[in-house]
Structure 1
Amino acid sequence: MRTRRTRLATITIATALTLSACGSTDSGETSSAESSSVAEDGGGSFSMAVTDPDLLIPGRQSVAFDFAMAVWAPLTFLELDGELTYVQAESVESEDQQTWTITLRDGWTFHDGSPVTAQDYVDTWNTVAYGPNAFENSGQLAAVQGYDDLNPAEGEPGTEEMSGLTVIDDLTFEVELEGPDSQFPLQLSQAQTALYPMPSDSLEDLDAYNTHPIGNGPFELTDDYVEDEPFVVTTYADYAGVAPTTDQITFVPYTDNVTAYTDALAGNVDVASLPTSRMTQAADDFGDQVYSFEAPGISFLGLPLWDERYDDVRVRQAISMAIDRETINDVIYGGQYEPATAFTPAIEPGTPEGICGQYCEYRPDEAAALLEEAGGFVGTMEITYPGGSGLDEFYNAIANNLRQNLGVDAVATPTADWAEFLEVRTNAGIDGPFFSRWGALYPSQQATMRELFLETGGCTNCVPSYPDDVAEAIAAADAAPDDGGESYAAVQELIVEDFPAPPLFFETYGYVTSDKVDELVTSPIGNPRLTHIVLAD
């Protein structure tokens, strides 16, 4: 198995922030010298299996990350060695970690030829944050001053603009946060897609823009997006950054990632994610065309905390201790994952591995006793997960664990597809445990905690627990001087007391490729860096 494990334990947030506070790099380029040299020899095309996105607007997309990172360029970029480099931004500076000045590089354009301006960023961010627009990734802007005014608890907002955004000139804008945040430059990097700019005039018709989005990145969409049909991006000739290594990417929608896997094996698609159900056989099927990227992903067994049967923390702890993570990892994941022992991925600096203690260990007898002590469980425990994602064996194994070890009537039930699952979870239409995971968008505990444990986070009802003391502790950690993640680790002491959902696995992101691909390059967030893919001669 060809393995590319990129553990970010060597990355210090302090190093990245030192770069950001000093302004831009000297080179004026956005990647390493090595990246620039490979770009010079670019050419060719490849295809990638994806879930049909439906939503391509970066502030709305939930499964179109690869497309977004090809069509848009971020303000900053975190390299594998931990260096925070600049892409669309010339500099990101602050004297107090609360008010930040972002200066854009001159000469950058959108795919329609219009210049990328500070006004475009401010207009985009206000559009994404405006509550009535209901942008799925709006929470990525929740820390900007004035965000709450656009998202009042009741009624319509009285304004359409956040007070924390100010245009200084064509290439400069100021961002005032609700409080100091040492992680802000990292938040501007590649996977925070809500922060990507859209041309200001496109905001007048967002439906049309979703059909044919115009970005500022290395690739541009060739034709209008049509649901369930392949969509193609080609290199943008006037891209001001480092040129990609290939000329064209075709994104091929699949409703079943096992079918995509089979097509990759047959050479009908060139890059596909590795389904859970194929992890144990992938090396035999693909040989050295299997990649496993250590990533800031963590899975949980979500619990419907709106259901009073899960009110008692002992019930939640018992469910966790009844799950045999080690055996599931060996039998289903082929040992590629690591049983989780904390509430953020181990790859994120400062994660307090082991903080779960006995509650993340397999202790079936103690689990049964604890459930009985809590008064038992009445009714069916139906575990809901997205169908067509190759997760059947995994959730059936969990259901078997809970049924055998706790004596509850546990069953695993798939939805028709991801869209149906997302709808029922977001609307709290589930009355049993459910699929829950988060892949952080930048390597910091903050990135996981904000999405899962703040009500404004982007993973609605992934872990539906938003206690005030946790929110206050996260804010205090944001404001603390960088300490290698210790401040965020202290937040987990509060989370483990409440134990809102059992952590399951620290994840790797697996991919398989056809023989057309010579090397799949990873990034600090564990996804393939499609602009740097190396094709076989």
Structure 2
Amino acid sequence: MRTTRTRLAAGALVLALALTACSGGGDGDSADGGATGGGGAIRVAVTDPVQLIPGRQTIAFDFNMAVWAPLTWISDDGELSYVAAESVESEDGTTWTITLRDGWTFHDGTPVTAQSYVDAWNAVAYGPNAWENSGQLANIVGYADLNVAEGEPATEMSGLQVVDDTTFTVTLTGPDGQFPMQLSQAQTAFYPMPESAFDDFDAYNTHPVGNGPFEVATDYAENEEMTVTAYEDYPGLEPTVDEITFVPYTDDTTAYTDVQAGNLDVAGVPVARQTQAAADFGDRLYSFEAAGISYLGLPLWDERYSDVRVRQAISMAIDRETIDEVIYGGLFTPATALTPAVEAGTPEGICGELCEYDPEAAKALLDEAGGFDGTIEIYYPGGAGMDELYTAIANNLRQNLGVEAVASPSTDWAEFADNRMAGTISGPFFSRWGALYPSQQNTLRAFYVDGGGCPNCIPYYEPEVASLIAAADAEVDPDAAAEAYAAVQERILEDFPAPPLFFETYSFVVSERVAELPTSAVGNPTYTQVVLTEGA
């Protein structure tokens, strides 16, 4: 098994340098040359995406990162570099000047300009469009004017101003030292679109035109394979393969066995196969440390969970180490903080004894709180391979707390999401977030700021916590930012609204045709730089 353990200790430092106009090269700097295209084609398993437009997609990250080039890039060692941007600069952390690399074109041959970005971002943010990734732009001045409850919304954010063909400015609602990270590969709302896209977004979704290393070769059709080919005029880092075919699967176990059979080159490892993946694939199993974290969400609207000692007892009754070994094959890491270890400055160990398995202390805490009335019913999305996990947690709670506990799946994801949003869940529930850029900001906002990205994942929205997060966001100095985010976590732990469970890894298996599967800081494979075996 090949394991990548990513740490972003350098990430905050890069952000500080960006504020003083230090331009980096790294993965996106075409001036330094780069990998030589080795040719060949790969077949990659995906879930049918439905939406491909960057401002709309929610599961087409791999496709988007092949067809579009981001402004910035965060590598697997945490280094932030520039791709489509020449520089991203600010003197105060509030108003940012983005200078584009000159001479870039979309796949239809039209130039990529500052106006391309401004028009695309306004379209994503425009409320009546109701695009899924609109919230990624919410901190730009004028966003609220495009998303009004009553009356006619504006069509352009006042915080975006075109200076010239390769320069535009972005004014935020407040200082944000993490902004260059937000412009990186997985925040797809920040990608540009060509002028032709605005004529018919439905047609554009069928055959998207991007500015990245690969162009679309086949139109999108539901549950059909989709192929992209290397774009000859791409001025960035040259891809190492000529063609990528995205193959949709409804069953991830089938994709896994197709890699075993040599019919597919890359697939994610389903939960049901994680304990045997190393035996099945050996060195062809890749486990990437990712910016994902899981919690056991708690229904804080239910009075039975209002005592912090009840919440602490539930956490201490969960044997994370054993669950990781038995269910995840040791590929995950028991959480010791409220944000993934991979995110810069995460204070690992800050959760202390509250995240450690101590059944005796857990039972004592629950007794001190007056016990628990009724059944603890753990609710999770059915059909997603989570049965073993939540059954194990229910068993822990039953055995260690002396309460009745059961694991109850929903019919499907939609039913689960509806109930979580409505606040009608009566017991602990599935809660996780995979950050779109590896910063504590993204995870803390998603969970603990109302409207931050993961509604009711942890239904705990304290104004003091939101203010502390905003203060941490405003820090430019990396040490000061790390200290400020740690203060946020300390404040949340006082109330302990939900037990963190695991720092996640994203695991993939590859065929014998693949010699190396590279990754990025968010844990997704970088398919544009896959290295094939000789003769593949």
Normalising by the smaller structure, the TM-score range is: over 0.9
Is the counterpart of residue 385 in structure 1 residue 384 in structure 2? no
What is the deviation of 1:12?
4.1
Deviates more, 1:355-364 or 1:465-474: 355-364
Is the counterpart of residue 270 in structure 1 residue 269 in structure 2? no
Q: 1:453, 1:463 within 8 Å by CA — same for their partners in 2?
A: yes
Structure 2: distance between partners of 1:186 and 1:137: 16
Amino acid at match of 1:396: T
Amino acid at match of 2:7: R
* Partner in structure 1 of residue 248 of structure 2: 253
Is the counterpart of residue 301 in structure 1 residue 296 in structure 2? yes
Pick from 258, 272, 275 the counterpart of residue 280 of structure 1: 275
Structure 2: distance between partners of 1:380 and 1:490: 35
* Partner in structure 2 of residue 17 of structure 1: 16
Amino acid at match of 1:115: P
Matches within 5 A, 1:456-467: 456-467=451-462
Amino acid at match of 2:118: V
Structure 1: distance between partners of 2:341 and 2:31: 27
Q: 2:13, 2:477 within 8 Å by CA — same for their partners in 1?
A: yes
What is the deviation of 1:384?
3.0
Matches within 5 A, 1:114-513: 114-152=110-148, 154-156=149-151, 158-428=153-423, 430-484=425-479, 485-513=482-510
Structure 1: distance between partners of 2:251 and 2:295: 22
> Please, which runs of 5 or more residues in structure 2 have no aligned partner?
none
CA-to-aligned-CA distance 1:421-461 (integer Å, 9 cap, x gap): 44544454543322221222222211211222222322233
Q: 1:20, 1:91 within 8 Å by CA — same for their partners in 2?
A: no
What is the deviation of 1:389?
3.2
Deviates more, 1:171-180 or 1:40-49: 40-49
Aligned residues: 532
SS in 1 for 2:505: strand
Change (3 A) 1:25 1:368: closer
Q: 2:27, 2:75 within 8 Å by CA — same for their partners in 1?
A: no
Q: 1:94, 1:101 within 8 Å by CA — same for their partners in 2?
A: yes
SS in 2 for 1:107: coil
Amino acid at match of 1:271: V
Change (3 A) 1:32 1:442: farther
Change (3 A) 1:400 1:66: same
Structure 2: distance between partners of 1:401 and 1:8: 34
CA-to-aligned-CA distance 1:457-489 (integer Å, 9 cap, x gap): 222332232211111111111112323311111
Deviates more, 1:469-478 or 1:315-324: 315-324
Deviates more, 1:430-439 or 1:418-427: 418-427
* Partner in structure 2 of residue 7 of structure 1: 7
Is the counterpart of residue 533 in structure 1 residue 530 in structure 2? yes
Q: 1:119, 1:200 within 8 Å by CA — same for their partners in 2?
A: no
CA-based RMSD: 2.4
Change (3 A) 1:329 1:245: same
Q: 1:316, 1:501 within 8 Å by CA — same for their partners in 2?
A: yes
Matches within 5 A, 1:19-98: 19=18, 21-22=20-21, 24-25=23-24, 30=29, 36-38=33-35, 40-98=36-94
What is the deviation of 1:234?
1.5
User: Normalised by the size of structure 2, how large is the TM-score?
Assistant: 0.92
What is the deviation of 1:362?
1.6
Structure 1: distance between partners of 2:411 and 2:315: 27
Change (3 A) 1:418 1:86: same
Amino acid at match of 2:53: I
What is the deviation of 1:195?
0.9
Deviates more, 1:216-225 or 1:363-372: 363-372
Structure 2: distance between partners of 1:49 and 1:421: 25
Amino acid at match of 1:323: I
Structure 2: distance between partners of 1:211 and 1:309: 49
Q: 1:8, 1:349 within 8 Å by CA — same for their partners in 2?
A: yes
Amino acid at match of 2:65: M
Change (3 A) 1:202 1:431: farther
* Partner in structure 2 of residue 105 of structure 1: 101
Structure 1: distance between partners of 2:92 and 2:274: 47
Change (3 A) 1:503 1:246: same
Amino acid at match of 2:3: T
Amino acid at match of 1:5: R
Structure 2: distance between partners of 1:413 and 1:28: 45
Q: 1:292, 1:511 within 8 Å by CA — same for their partners in 2?
A: yes
Q: 1:292, 1:509 within 8 Å by CA — same for their partners in 2?
A: yes
Structure 2: distance between partners of 1:389 and 1:49: 17
> Please, which runs of 5 or more residues in structure 1 have no aligned partner?
none
Change (3 A) 1:97 1:476: same
Deviates more, 1:124-133 or 1:408-417: 408-417
Structure 2: distance between partners of 1:397 and 1:224: 44
Structure 2: distance between partners of 1:134 and 1:312: 38
Identity of aligned residues (%): 66
Structure 1: distance between partners of 2:385 and 2:225: 22
Change (3 A) 1:498 1:127: farther
Structure 1: distance between partners of 2:46 and 2:474: 38
Change (3 A) 1:415 1:26: closer
SS in 2 for 1:119: helix
What is the deviation of 1:79?
2.7
SS in 1 for 2:139: coil
Q: 1:256, 1:388 within 8 Å by CA — same for their partners in 2?
A: no
Change (3 A) 1:454 1:31: farther
What is the deviation of 1:37?
4.2
Amino acid at match of 2:76: L
Q: 1:21, 1:92 within 8 Å by CA — same for their partners in 2?
A: no
What is the deviation of 1:530?
0.8
CA-to-aligned-CA distance 1:129-171 (integer Å, 9 cap, x gap): 233333222221122112233334x435642322211112222
Structure 2: distance between partners of 1:296 and 1:233: 27
Amino acid at match of 1:15: V
Amino acid at match of 2:471: A
SS in 2 for 1:110: coil
SS in 2 for 1:332: helix
CA-to-aligned-CA distance 1:504-529 (integer Å, 9 cap, x gap): 01112111111111110111222111
Amino acid at match of 1:106: D
SS in 2 for 1:114: coil
SS in 2 for 1:341: coil
